[in-house]
Structure 1
């Protein structure tokens, strides 16, 4: 073994075992914290954990579960487990009493071993709960029993229905029994931030990159769509997301990528006339804010024809799912997407002219 390889090996081991030590320490601290919370609860009040730590589209899709659990346990102290990056999605939810910022799954493993919670509602699939640093998987026994995995979960319904099944809230392959429209809890700070952007007039929001390559549409076709929109419609075009891959030369285009928090992005989408994007987190923001969506979708892995949404997008009342049978999103032609977008925009123009 060379000296360089020896240093790399022990550097990796140092970071791994330091992480594990911190996770375990934080797990014991969290156990003490929730034991204290439980002692302070009035007799008969339950301490309930809801676990959906990522991704942010999944957390939005699962939001109706918080209200459903609250309806089942009106006096309970409900704690939502989430990764720190997605804290704000749950922080203002009135159905949740406390948000736990999870360090990693090892921390949760140590915490749950103390049996401090009266009920744990796991909104996780089998093979869906992993810490790469600890190299630890935590399985959800309900998902294992019902055979709900990352390879077949859309066979069980939309995301909300799947999560409710993995949490043992509803029978296998059942419909969600309560209000299934996801909600966001936007604050004055989010509105004030977007006011500062001075987005004037009518605008369309685009989201052009997901966190999973098979869901994406090629950048050059997005560029063609932006150029076509700018040439044919009187809309400003606002791109949101982590970063942009577009090369665009038109005054109608504004790049807000990387400049906004998740809920600030939601406020931008809420103010838009239309949202055009992919099957990804921001499309769930559009569903939750009530903005009409045009969602570019396609066959995804084992799922040839699926709809991840509940609420109005799930019923296709406020959205057009732009897709063709069994084709992946990347194979949708520019002309096909343009035609679908044109149908929506032209219909909207006619309605506005008549009103």
Structure 2
């Protein structure tokens, strides 16, 4: 073994085991916290955990579950486990008493093995329950018993239904039994940030890049769409997301990728006349904020024709899905997408 390889090996081991030590230490600290919470609960009052730590579209899709759990346990102290990056999505939810920002799966494993919680509602399955540093998986026995996994989950319904089944809230392959419209709880601070952007003119929001390449539509076709929209409609065109890869010169276009938080982005979408985007997190923001959506979708892995949304997007009451059965999103022609967008804009679906 070379010296360089020896250093790499022990650097990796140091990072891994120091991470595990930190996770376990934080887990024991959290146990003390939750024990203090439980001691102060009234007799018969439950301590309930809801686990949906990622990704932000999935957390938004899961929001109706918080209200459903509250209806089942009106007096419970409900704790939502989430990754720090998505804490704001749950922080203002009136159905949740406490948001626990999780360090990693190992920390959560330590906490739940202490059996403090009266009920653990696990909305995830194996692929979301993995820490790559610890190399630890936390299994969901309900999802395992129902054979729900990353390869087949859309065979069990939309995301809300899949997560509710994984959490043992509803029987296998059944519809969600309560209000299934996702909600967001935007605050004045988010409205004020968007006020400062001075988005006075009517505008259309675009989201052009997902975090999973098979869901994407080619960049050059997005650029064609921007130019066509600018030439034919009196709307500003605002792109949101983490990073833009568009190269357009029209004055109607504005790039807001990057500087906004998730909830600030939601407020931008809420004020838009239309949302045009991919099957990705921002489309769930569109569903939750009530802005009419034009969603470019294609076949995905083993799912030739799937629907991730509940509520008005899921029923296509406030959205249309631009897709062809069994055809990946990247293969949708510009003309096909253009025609669907034109139909929507000419019929005037925008929300006043």
Interval containing the TM-score (normalised by the shorter chain):
over 0.9
* 4+ runs deviating over 4 angstroms: none
Which segments of 5 or more consecutive residues in structure 2 lack a partner in the other structure?
none
Q: Deviations over 1:264-295 (max 9, x none)?
A: 00000000000000000000000000000000
In structure 2, distance between residues paired with 1:95 and 1:325: 38
Alignment of 1:135-284 (within 5 A): 135-284=135-284
Q: How far apart, CA to CA, are the structure 1 residues paired with 2:314 and 2:287?
A: 9
Deviations 1:209-247 (A, max 9, x none): 101110001111111110111111100000000000111
Residue 128 of structure 2 aligns to a residue whose secondary structure is: coil
- Name 1:335's counterpart in structure 2: 335
**Retained in 1: the 8 A contact 2:126–2:137?**
no
Which residue of structure 1 aligns with residue 87 of structure 2?
87
CA contact (8 A) 1:126 1:148 kept: no
SS in 1 for 2:306: coil
Distance 2:248 2:3 in 1: 48
Please, what TM-score do these two structures have when normalized by structure 2?
A: 0.98
CA contact (8 A) 1:127 1:139 kept: no
Aligned length: 352
Shift of 1:144: 0.2
TM-score by length of 1: 0.98
SS of equivalent to 1:204? strand
Tell me, in whole angstroms, the C-alpha distance in 2 between the residues paired with 1:40 and 1:151. 43
Secondary structure at 2:321 match in 1: strand
Q: Offset of 1:184 from its aligned partner?
A: 0.1
Pair 1:69 & 2:69 matched: yes
Structure-to-structure mapping, 1:91-110, within 5 angstroms: 91-110=91-110
Runs of 5+ consecutive residues of structure 1 not aligned to the other structure: none
What CA deviation, in whole Å up to 9, does each residue of 1:125-166 have, x standing for no partner? 244310000000111000000000000000000000010000
Match of residue 345 from structure 2: 345
Give the Cα separation in 2 of the matches to 1:298 and 1:208: 14
1:287 paired residue number: 287
Q: Distance in 2 between matches of 1:127 and 1:99?
A: 22
